[in-house]
Amino acid sequence: MARTEFLFDKNQEPHLARTKEILAKHPEMRKFIGKKNPWSFLVILLSVSVQLGMAWFMRDKPLYIVIPAAWLFGTLVNHCFIGLVHDASHGLIFRGKFWNDLAGLIVNSPMLIPSYVSFKKYHMKHHAFQGVYELDADLPAKWEVKAVKNIWYRKMIWLAFFPLIQSVRTARVREVAFFDGWVLANWIVTFAVDFAVAYFWGWHSIIYIAVAFWCGFGLSIVGGRLIQEHFMVAEPQETYSYYGWLSLPSMHVGYHNEHHDFPSCAWNYLPKIRKAAPEFYNNIKYHTSWGLLVLKFIFDKNMSLANRVERRERGGVALDAEVIPDVRIAEA
């Protein structure tokens, strides 16, 4: 039977305790903690070049070619961007904050909407306060749960409009300041690229960019990541990883349990973490297909937007605390 309310948990988010347990049993995993990957910047330059190159190639193509190309190929590149934006937000490319943020602005530039800086703000709160309704913008709003329920076409519409819905959600996280100089810089860079693409190459090029972005965050194969990360399919487990064939081109962003357990480790170390502690990752529920998960979410009547965990316990974590619990545990 489909849930109509979130599963309430009176405890703190679970990953801090898991990290302590893993490091107690596998002290050798300290070698992964704090690992950066500056080579990710080369991937940023390559993937941005590929997406802009495709946009240029689509400048004189009919829409019946542009839109399928964006949905089938552009969404995959956009999902690569998501993995790189994610690592930049955690400071996992370079050692300096400025250079990570610069990398984030560059990879966000062909993604239609300036989102890197805002994502960084709210994503850090998601890690520190997973499931805390007023701080975790990854948790669906209660109006979403009531409006969508477990009705298949409403779930499909919800996925189709997810970028807009996610933006609206952040309004409830009132303890986080929305605007600053970096947000302005993000707007300037991304909208400048949008303008340049539309002005010099035409509307078909910007439509390619727009469809790749919009569908890459919702109604497409890679949209399954939105369901994979924290929607319960094996209650009460609240975080799930993805180990399918799209993992590498997505910068292993699907290794979500590993990332929450060790958020100071760059994307390329996450499979090594799983391999080093298989009893913690192979013996819990995980996913191997984003596409099948999208279908399950839409058509399974037992799946609703309420298949999430909610909590009030903040665990004594300061609002502006740096999200490096694995580093603190290793240094203790």
- What gap in Å lies between CA 293 and CA 300, rounded to an integer? 10
CB crowding 145-160: b at 16 or more within 10 Å, else e: beebbbeeebbbbbbb
Asked whether residue 133 carries a pLDDT value surpassing 90, the answer given is yes
**Residue 80 near residue 251 (C-beta atoms within 8 A):** yes
pLDDT at 178: 87
**Residue 237 near residue 285 (C-beta atoms within 8 A):** yes
Quick count: other Cβ atoms within 10 Å of Cβ 183?
17
Distances (CA, A) of 292 to 188, 308, 324: 38, 19, 33
Residue 280 within any structural domain of the chain: no
- 272 alpha-carbon distance from chain centroid: 20
pLDDT at 331: 87
pLDDT at 5: 97
82 three-state secondary structure: helix
154 three-state secondary structure: helix
pLDDT by residue (tens digit) across 221-275?
999 999 999 999 999 999 999 999 999 999 999 999 999 999 999 999 999 999 9
8 three-state secondary structure: strand
Q: What is the DSSP string of 40-81?
A: HHHHHHHHHHHHHHHHHHGGGS-HHHHHHHIIIIIHHHHHHH
Give start and end residues of each alpha helix (H) in 129-161: 142-148, 152-160
Residue 328 within any structural domain of the chain: no
Angle (CA) 57-62-68 rounded to 5° is 80
pLDDT by residue (tens digit) across 18-53?
999 999 999 999 999 999 999 999 999 999 999 999
- What gap in Å lies between CA 240 and CA 293, rounded to an integer? 12
pLDDT at 145: 97
pLDDT at 194: 98
- 251 alpha-carbon distance from chain centroid: 11
Residue 12 within any structural domain of the chain: no
Residue 258 within any structural domain of the chain: no
pLDDT by residue (tens digit) across 172-218?
999 999 899 999 999 999 999 999 999 999 999 999 999 999 999 98
Residue 213 within any structural domain of the chain: yes
pLDDT by residue (tens digit) across 285-327?
999 999 999 999 999 999 999 999 999 999 999 998 889 999 9
For residue 129, the enclosing domain spans: 37-239+286-319
- What gap in Å lies between CA 57 and CA 299, rounded to an integer? 37
Number of domains observed in the structure of the chain: 1
Average pLDDT of the residues in 105-130: 97
pLDDT at 321: 87
Residue 11 within any structural domain of the chain: no
Considering the chain, what is the average pLDDT of its residues? 96
Residue matched to tokens 């399918």: 244
pLDDT at 132: 97
**How does residue 163 score in pLDDT terms, banded at 50, 70 and 90?**
very high
Q: What is the DSSP string of 246-276?
A: TTGGGTTTT-HHHHHH-TTS-GGGHHHHHHH
The closest alpha carbon to 114, from 180, 44, 50, 184, belongs to 184
Residue 132 within any structural domain of the chain: yes
The closest alpha carbon to 328, from 280, 264, 266, 267, belongs to 264
- 310 strand-pairing partners: 8
- What gap in Å lies between CA 150 and CA 162, rounded to an integer? 16
Residue matched to tokens 């013996």: 283
